[in-house]
Each structure stands twice: as structure tokens, then as C-alpha cells.
Amino acid sequence: MTTPTSTRTRPHAAATRGGSRLAALDRLRGLALVAMLFHHLLDWISGDAREVIPGWRYFVVTDVAAVAFFCVSGASLALFATSRRRRGASRGAVAVEVLRRYGLLVPIGLLIHLAIFRTEYGFGVLEAIGITVVAAASLLAVVPTRVLPAVAAGVLVLGPWLERRAADESGWVAEHLLGGTFPVVTYLGFVLVGVAASRHGLLGDRRGVQLAAVVMSAGVALLVVSGVEPDRYPGDAAFVLPGLAGTALALAACQLTWPRVLRRFDRFVRDAGARALGLFIGHYLIYGLLQEAGWMRQVDQSWGVALAAAVTTGLCLLAPHVPQLPWSPRTGRRT
């Protein structure tokens, strides 16, 4: 999948444009995607990835990836909408294009759950991205830019509260939409953080991002000192604050001008981020293969880390060489 704001560059162009806001966004998207793929593959190959990856028992480094990816999706949405409006597109035309690009992720995700995970009406990362970005686009059309940060903060407070309420309820909405792996209201908050960051110019503001990273990291330190360990579930402050702190730290690193020695790695992560949907589908196919062959969680963790890293790297290196159809139902004709 070529994301709306992916910077299409010739080889080695990344080194010369390393400090641009689009380069930073592409890098963060790619790093988040690679981290998610590695975490999932390690889970499937060896078992609980959180037993191996650095971090706390229920929140490790790669758990930041989900937060970062949704924040990037929000920033991409804001840049995409602004770009289309500047080119003369009406609000309605932009809304239709956003609905097509992101709304179609919902049926794609549901089909993957049905075909590979053998579960009806599942709810995973693709469905969550589709719903939250479309919802954020609706809010973006009516909420003034100056109050976007307050709205994002309010949604991030509301989300965990709804998660706790949903824990006492039954039914698909409570178990998958308001709760579950990707509680939609909480993740809508992360998308809105990305929208607000883009609209307020943080993508190109190194000092602003560095300050945010320092402040939120201090908040995480206070949580830990007070006896509250970072924890992904439920998505309260123990998840939201470390997730956003890690995202800010990663964005600060991505905003820097990377040295020439990292040129190939830079291109690797940006190419991966530009093909996010294809890589998601590819790694789900690997899940199906492992499940059918009876190989799930059969590899010792000491070898599983290396194998998961190798498979992740192989998928990302292969993705740019997979032929694409000339037309996509999500993005239309490819050039």
C-alpha cells in the first residue's frame, strides 16, 4: 500500500531530504510497521514476545509501534486532506477519497479474519485503522484546529473509561470495539494526536517534538516511581503515556538528518512503510501457514528472535519487488 503522504524518492534521495517532515513521517511509519511485524512473528514462532523484547512485563518497546502507527495515520490524514484542498478538491471529494482509502480497510480486515484466523466478525489493526481514520476525518471537517489537542486529550481519557465499562458487558461491541486488542475510542485518540501534531506544525518542529518527548518521558518515570508499571491493557495512563512518549522519542530521532552510513536502512524502513497493507497481508499469510502446518510456537525463543527478525527483513526486502496491479479499489489508477 502506498500511503497518502509517502514521499516517492529516487534511491539515495532520503539522505538529502532527511530532515523534512515527510521524511520523518515516512521513517516513523516504517519503523512502527517493522516493529509490529517482528512482534507478531515472534509471538507466532516462539510464544509471548513480551518475555524476550526489552521493556516491562506487559509493555515492551514494540508496544509503542501500535501507538506510533495510529499517530502517523492521523498525521497522514491531515496532510492528505490539506494537499487535496489546496489542489481545488471539494470537502465532499476529499471525504469520499478518505472513505475509499481507509474505509475499505474494514472489509479487508474482516475477510482476513474469516479466511486466515477463521473467526467471524473479528476486529484487528486494519479494521481499527479504517474506522478511526474515517472518524477522525469527520471530526477534522468540523473541529477548529486550535481545539484539536483538547479533543484528542478528551478522547484519550474517554477511551480507557469505556474500556473498563465494556469489561463488564458482553456482545461484539463491548468485546471487540470498545475493548479488545484495539479499543477503537482509545486508538481514535492516537489518530487525533497525529492530526493535531500535523495541523500545529510539530512534524517539522524538532525542538517542539524533543520537548514533548522529554515531558512525557518524565511522566512515565513518575508513573514507574509511584509503583505503576506501563501496561498495554487496559489502555489507561499506563499505556497512553508510555505509548505517546515512545512515539515522540521515535519521531525526534526520525526528524534528525541521518548519516550516510544509514542510507540503506533509511530506504529499507521507508519502503516498508510505503507498502504497509501488502506487508500486513503477507505476514498474516505466514500466520496461516504456521497454523496449518502445526508450527505455531514451536521454536525456542533464543532462535525465535533471530528467525522472526530474518522473516521480517525478508518480507520488507521482497515487498518492493512484488508486481502491483495498475489499478486499486482503494487508491485508483497507479502511476
3-state secondary structure string across 26-38: HHHHHHHHHHHHH
- Asked whether residue 140 is domain-assigned, the answer is no
- Asked whether residue 76 is domain-assigned, the answer is no
- Asked whether residue 222 is domain-assigned, the answer is no
Query: What digits encode the pLDDT tens for the residues 134-164?
Result: 999 999 999 999 999 999 999 999 999 999 9
Query: What digits encode the pLDDT tens for the residues 284-321?
Result: 999 999 999 999 999 999 899 999 999 999 999 999 99
- Asked whether residue 97 is domain-assigned, the answer is no
CB-count exposure of residue 111 (10 Å: 0-12, 13-18, 19+):
exposed
CB distance 70 to 29 below 8 Å = no
- Asked whether residue 1 is domain-assigned, the answer is yes
DSSP state letter for 171: S
pLDDT at 13 over 60: no
**What pLDDT was estimated at residue 11?**
40
Confidence of residue 335 (pLDDT cuts 50, 70, 90): low
Mean pLDDT in residue range 50-66 = 95
Side chain identity, residue 4: P
Mean pLDDT, rounded, of the chain: 91
- Asked whether residue 234 is domain-assigned, the answer is no
**What pLDDT was estimated at residue 72?**
98
**What pLDDT was estimated at residue 208?**
96
Range of the domain at 304: 1-12+32-53+261-325
Query: What digits encode the pLDDT tens for the residues 70-124?
Result: 999 999 999 999 999 999 999 889 999 999 999 999 999 999 989 998 887 778 9
* CB atoms closer than 10 angstroms to residue 313: 15
Closest CA to 191 of 95, 70, 81, 63: 70
Number of domains in the chain: 1
pTM: 0.91
Query: What digits encode the pLDDT tens for the residues 242-289?
Result: 999 999 999 999 999 999 999 999 999 999 999 999 999 999 999 999
Q: Find the length of the chain.
A: 335
CB distance 213 to 245 below 8 Å = yes
Query: What digits encode the pLDDT tens for the residues 83-92?
Result: 999 999 998 8
- Asked whether residue 156 is domain-assigned, the answer is no
- Asked whether residue 170 is domain-assigned, the answer is no
| Distance, CA of 210 to CA of 223 (rounded, Å) | 20
